[in-house]
Amino acid sequence: MERAVLQITLFGLLLALAATQPNKDNWDIYSFHINSTVTSRYATTVITSRMANRMDESKEIEFHVRIPKNAFISKFRMFIDGQVYDGVVKGKEKARQQYTEAVSRGQSAGLVSSVGRTLEEFKTSVTVAAHKKVTFELTYEELLKRRLGKYELQIHARPMQPVKSFKVDVHIHEKSGINFVEVKGGLALADAISKTYADNEVWVNFYPTEDQQKTCTSCGEQGMNGDLVIVYDVNRDSGLGDIKTSAGYFVHHFAPSSLTRISKNVVFLIDRSGSMHGKKIRQTRLALIHILNDLSEDDHFGLITFDGSISYWKRELVQANQRNLESAKTFSEDIRESGATNINSAVLEGASLLNAHPREDSASILILLTDGDPTTGVTNLEQIQSNVRAAIADKFPLYCLGFGFDVNFEFLETMSLQNNGVARRIYEDSDADLQLKGFYEEVATPLLIDVTMSYNGGTNLTQTEFSQYYNGSEIVVAGQITDNDIGTFTPQVVAISSSKKMTFSNPNGTVESTGTESADHIQRVWAYLTVKQLLEKE
């Protein structure tokens, strides 16, 4: 979900914005607290920043934080002089326009924009009278996604000055129990972190002193600047998984682990257009060679490189045996860039390689790596998308990796979503080969194909069909229970695992209400997934 702009307009605040940039010396952040509560992978984080204008005149005070791209802002408030100002969270399109209007009318408005790989920035400012204080409070929510066997809660802090009372409090509660917890990231100063465990709960507290705030790896005279990343996983069984219900809603986390891998048929489509010149093509070659080394002997694979024309390594999929891998590596080392970008032909050729290789009970995967827009052959984006859909016909997922910022990422994302896959941006950086390899690892071990999640007695369900389930990931479905009648609610999963049909169901036939979840918690997870999937469909 690209939520480019989410805006908050603060009604009732008709205070003039100062024409000059705010000067950090004018105000003092005396308290900066981040409080994150995770229940069943759903994280609610509140950032509270208390600031004072120490000057003899009114000053513009800025509030400026970074939140994960996957999160929704659910609340924003300011407290000034005993008054509360509630922000109204607005969606996308109108937002930028309203922001511009609000600013030109001298109102206070907040704007969200994308920064870096995983974060986006929320910014707002307000004018505060001499010697008065202001409290900003921002709440955001996100469903943590399981990747490579773990969840990551990323907390970013950059108050721009050392703060007298700086606290990060994280509380994780997972009913099925917590398997491990680690704290990573540039802020992770061992001296200032404490972890407390109970049965199925963990508390992480991070209270650095003002001195410590200047000494961590990503900190300086301006105080903390970086991430605290809480990494964890939960205990799980090999069956139907974790189902929680409350107030007529349910959420189902499905991630069976003790299954055997199924072999895969993977075709890589590698862009070698002129723009891949230099570092990008070198990193691509490097990543490809790593990936080839990781294939299993019973996997089959194909390689196509393309610019204006298509080059095959082999005209058919071949087994990943030693001899073929050596030859493919030699081919990869010789990839040279030149020419234009014919995405249409490349994807159609890749699809036909996979279609010509029907192997039952194995997982087929098509991976496209490109750094640019289609410039030759069919270049009409909608035409390409419809050709690709027809060629793939829901038989396997298409993953698109957009390298750098010259790609039309929305085009790639739409094309992936239309074909049961996802798109990922690869940032042009020294670690681009690791990003490529990291993506491949997420799909490297298919455990199930044609996964159908069914819920007798359930309604208003989020997505229930998944073409593949990979080791280390997780399928999450939420919905409502018809008439809140838990007695007749029967979840079941049917899928194909190495040559046999498998059915996962609750041995006792029915599900118990967890009851302990706070009343609207599961409803929020359902709303989050529903909105996110609607945005993807757009």
Ligand X SMILES: *[C@@H]1O[C@H](CO)[C@@H](O)[C@H](O)[C@H]1NC(C)=O
Residues near ligand X (CB under 6 A) = 35, 37, 149, 169, 257, 260-261, 445, 459-460, 471-472, 480, 506-508, 512
Question: What is the bridge-based pairing of β-strands 398-403 and 423-426?
Answer: parallel
Q: How far is the CB of 257 from ligand X (least distance, A)?
A: 6
SS3 325: helix
Q: How far is the CB of 298 from ligand X (least distance, A)?
A: 13
Structure letter (DSSP) for residue 147: B
Q: How far is the CB of 122 from ligand X (least distance, A)?
A: 19
Cβ proximity to ligand X: between 341 and 471 the closer is 471
Cβ proximity to ligand X: between 278 and 507 the closer is 507
Could you write out the DSSP letters of every residue in 13-37? ---PPPSSPPPGGGEEEEEEEEEEE
Cβ proximity to ligand X: between 111 and 449 the closer is 449
The alpha carbons of the chain give a radius of gyration, in whole angstroms, of 25
SS3 289: helix
Cβ proximity to ligand X: between 236 and 424 the closer is 236
Whole-angstrom distance, CA of residue 233 vs CA of residue 180: 6
Q: How far is the CB of 169 from ligand X (least distance, A)?
A: 4
Q: How far is the CB of 378 from ligand X (least distance, A)?
A: 39
506, with CB counted inside 10 A (0-12, 13-18, 19+), is: middle
Whole-angstrom distance, CA of residue 302 vs CA of residue 309: 17
Q: How far is the CB of 472 from ligand X (least distance, A)?
A: 5
Tokens linked to 478: 């939420």
Q: How far is the CB of 513 from ligand X (least distance, A)?
A: 11
Cβ proximity to ligand X: between 328 and 481 the closer is 481
Largest CA distance in the chain: 78
Cβ proximity to ligand X: between 116 and 487 the closer is 487
The helix (run of H) or strand (run of E) holding residue 466 is strand 465-470
Cβ proximity to ligand X: between 33 and 123 the closer is 33
Residue 145: name the closest of 536, 471, 451, 475 by CA. Answer: 475
417 phi and psi, to 5 degrees?
-65, -35
Q: How far is the CB of 512 from ligand X (least distance, A)?
A: 6
Beta partners for 227?
156
Tokens linked to 339: 């020419």
Q: How far is the CB of 91 from ligand X (least distance, A)?
A: 18
Cβ proximity to ligand X: between 206 and 313 the closer is 206
Cβ proximity to ligand X: between 207 and 405 the closer is 207
Q: Are 335 and 281 in contact (CB under 8 A)?
A: yes
Could you write out the DSSP letters of every residue in 46-86? EEEEEEEE-SSS-EEEEEEEEEETT-EEEEEEEEETTEEEE
